Amino acid sequence: MSLREHALTLFRSAVGTVRPAPMLKKAVKLQGDGCPQLLVKGQVFPVKRDLYLVGFGKAVLGMAAAAEEILGDHLIRGIINVPLGIQESLQRAGMQEMLLKPHSKIQVIEGARNNLPDPEALRGAVAIQELAEGLTVDDLLLVLISGGGSALLPAPILPILLEEKEKLTKMLASRGAAIQELNIVRKTLSLLKGGGLARLAYPAQVVSLILSDVIGDPLDVIASGPTAASSHSVQDCLQVLAKYNLLHNLPKSVETVLSSSPTKPTALEDYSHVCNIIIGSNTLALDEARRQAEGLGYTTLILSAAICGEVGRVATLYCQLIQLVCLGFTGLGEGPLSDEVRGNLLQLAAELEIPGLNLAEFLQALRGLGPERPVCILAGGETTVKLQGTGKGGRNQELALRVGLGLYRAQATKVSSPQGRCEIVFLSGGTDGQDGPTEAAGAFCSPELVDEALQEGFDVEAFLSNNDSYTFFSQFQGGHHLLVTGLTGTNVMDIQVILIRATERS
């Protein structure tokens, strides 16, 4: 198999392991007929009487279908809020396993057009609220949560109107608020977010199964943490609103709610009936890819599952890492060139402030590598693209094209480039199968890509400055370098696979 085929296999295996059905079936079991018990990742929850299910998020339909199969007749009733049109598009894509069976006990409510709260999502949220409020100490509530859950569970605290909350969310997002900031505000203004759903379900046992789409898997940020204790107070919310210059023209209703919000977060003791369990994440996906890569004979290193930062700088980080591996393969691992690249890399990594990135240890591991075994570097997270052009693209395609350009430049400036003696494939893809508003999940690149593109008359830099990576990749060599998977039904952010092997000349 070629490096490219290997990269694709690794990407697919990473995504495969966090697809709703396999993920749920691996994490959850129901055992014992007389006194059934729910087993979730080694934790045991007795099903004393009735078992209910609620869920909200983009991947929740597939999770619910798998959960209903596992729970069988023990499930009394369920309600899930999922994106508008999802059943039809999964049907069209032939992904039957993600759909509920006829006569399912789970009611599906579709809403949140364009990932924004709307009356349909509100109707679903009210139904979920009523179900939670009616539970008793003998009941167990299984809560399925995935990315997109915030917009799908809107329950503004009165007198805030849905339209007012929608407008505020839109303004924060358009002013560049990060998801952590956005969700601090959402939690303060919502009845069900910030642990609200769990508190309403008391005294029932609440078990939440969470598919994380946020860097670092913070329980109180994913879908605005409806079953997690929030560490934020109304002060934090006011700070976010002030930062984005929104404090002075808030609707009266929002001011009323802010002024009567408790100043301290709810005490942890109030969550003793709740268990939040992450069953799918970027880390789990990368671990599976590592297992596969090792099986294929690669020396495999996971850089981080929390890669973040401006796409151009992250591309430079990857180019420098690739250069270091190639220098090591060609016997130049120690010397002025390596020292220079290593120094630049450390500085850039410090500037990017990627959480948990232990580069020193990583570089140490690279030092011991020989050319006999190929190397696989795996990483995940989400970069940021500041849109400046009017083109069509996504952050993965833009990252791949920028890495291609960086490798081309590094090669062009060195007389005898160590890269020239290595075969390299870089792949970046969104695990949801959709990179930005395009039909591709991401793209592949190699050091030869930009040179070949230039020879065919493609001005790569012009495509990049217009954020037009999709147009480039779909036109160049008949779309050969695009990664097209179709919608996967899951989402644990993005994944990068870098494969490097020494060629015979080195």
Ligand X SMILES: Nc1ncnc2c1ncn2[C@@H]1O[C@H](COP(=O)(O)OP(=O)(O)OP(=O)(O)O)[C@@H](O)[C@H]1O
Residue ranges binding ligand DGY (CB under 6 A): 147-150, 179, 183, 213-214, 222-224
399 lines the binding site for ligand X (CB under 6 A): no
Q: d(Cα 72, Cα 30) in Å, to the nearest integer?
A: 9
Q: d(Cα 404, Cα 415) in Å, to the nearest integer?
A: 19
Q: Which is nearer to ligand X, 116 or 127 (CB)?
A: 116
Residue 149 interface partner, choices ligand DGY, ligand X, none, CB cut-off 5-8 Å depending on type:
ligand DGY
Specify whether the CB–CB gap between 447 and 411 falls below 8 A.
Answer: yes
122-151 footprint of ligand X as x/- string (CB under 6 A): -------------------------xx---
434 lines the binding site for ligand X (CB under 6 A): yes
Residue 457 interface partner, choices ligand DGY, ligand X, none, CB cut-off 5-8 Å depending on type:
none
467 lines the binding site for ligand X (CB under 6 A): yes
Residue 477 vs residues 80, 268, 281, 438, 481: alpha-carbon distances, Å: 43, 57, 34, 18, 8
Residue 394 interface partner, choices ligand DGY, ligand X, none, CB cut-off 5-8 Å depending on type:
ligand X
Q: How far is the CB of 466 from ligand X (least distance, A)?
A: 8
Q: How far is the CB of 213 from ligand DGY (least distance, A)?
A: 5
Q: d(Cα 120, Cα 398) in Å, to the nearest integer?
A: 35
Residue 436 interface partner, choices ligand DGY, ligand X, none, CB cut-off 5-8 Å depending on type:
ligand X
469-488 footprint of ligand X as x/- string (CB under 6 A): x-------------------
Q: Which is nearer to ligand X, 205 or 428 (CB)?
A: 428
Host H or E run for residue 412: helix 395-413
Q: How far is the CB of 146 from ligand DGY (least distance, A)?
A: 8
Q: Which is nearer to ligand DGY, 147 or 489 (CB)?
A: 147
SS3 content of the chain, % helix, strand, coil (to 5): 45, 20, 35
Q: How far is the CB of 469 from ligand X (least distance, A)?
A: 6
Q: Which stretch binds ligand X (CB under 6 A): 21-29, 34-42, 347-355, 386-394?
A: 386-394
Which DSSP string corresponds to 268-336? GGGGTTEEEEEEE-HHHHHHHHHHHHHHTT-EEEEEEEEEEEEHHHHHHHHHHHHHHHHHHHTT-SSSH
Q: How many CA atoms does the CB half-sphere of 199 hold within 13 Å?
A: 18
- Tokens in use for 321? 């890492």
Q: d(Cα 379, Cα 382) in Å, to the nearest integer?
A: 10
- Using Cβ positions, the residue closest to ligand X within the complex turns out to be 393
Which residue, among 218, 201, 198, has the nearest Cα to 266 in the 3D structure? 198
SS (H, E, C) 79-121: EEEEECCHHHHHHHCCCHHHCCCCCCCEEEEEECHHHCCCHHH
Q: Virtual CA dihedral for 448, 449, 454, 455, nearest 10 degrees?
A: 60
Q: d(Cα 424, Cα 411) in Å, to the nearest integer?
A: 12
Using the 8-state DSSP alphabet, how is residue 267 labeled?
P
Residue 15 interface partner, choices ligand DGY, ligand X, none, CB cut-off 5-8 Å depending on type:
none
Residue selected from 418, 436, 442, 489 as contacting ligand X according to rule CB under 6 A: 436
Q: Between β-strands 140-145 and 274-280, what pairing exists: parallel, antiparallel or unpaired?
A: unpaired
Q: How far is the CB of 79 from ligand X (least distance, A)?
A: 22
Residue selected from 491, 492, 497, 499 as contacting ligand X according to rule CB under 6 A: 491
211-240 footprint of ligand X as x/- string (CB under 6 A): --x---------------------------
Q: How far is the CB of 459 from ligand X (least distance, A)?
A: 17
Residue 290 interface partner, choices ligand DGY, ligand X, none, CB cut-off 5-8 Å depending on type:
none
Q: Which stretch binds ligand X (CB under 6 A): 105-113, 238-246, 250-258, 429-437?
A: 429-437
Specify whether the CB–CB gap between 273 and 349 falls below 8 A.
Answer: no
Q: Which stretch binds ligand X (CB under 6 A): 77-85, 157-165, 225-233, 427-435?
A: 427-435
Q: Which is nearer to ligand DGY, 64 or 453 (CB)?
A: 64
- Tokens in use for 488? 């996967």
Q: Which is nearer to ligand X, 55 or 430 (CB)?
A: 430
Q: Which is nearer to ligand X, 63 or 257 (CB)?
A: 63
For the chain, report the end-to-end CA distance as a whole number of angstroms: 21
430 lines the binding site for ligand X (CB under 6 A): yes
Which residue, among 156, 153, 152, 224, has the nearest Cα to 184 in the 3D structure? 224
Residue 183 interface partner, choices ligand X, ligand DGY, none, CB cut-off 5-8 Å depending on type:
ligand DGY
Q: Which is nearer to ligand X, 243 or 392 (CB)?
A: 392
Please give the backbone phi and psi of residue 462, each rounded to the nearest 5 degrees, phi first.
Answer: -65, -40
Q: How far is the CB of 475 from ligand DGY (least distance, A)?
A: 32
Q: Name the 3-class secondary structure at 422.
A: strand
Q: How far is the CB of 38 from ligand X (least distance, A)?
A: 29
Q: How far is the CB of 204 from ligand DGY (least distance, A)?
A: 24
Residue 430 interface partner, choices ligand X, ligand DGY, none, CB cut-off 5-8 Å depending on type:
ligand X
Which DSSP string corresponds to 373-384? S-EEEEEEEEEE
- Interface with ligand X (CB under 6 A): 147-148, 213, 385, 387, 391-395, 398, 430, 432, 434-437, 467, 469, 491
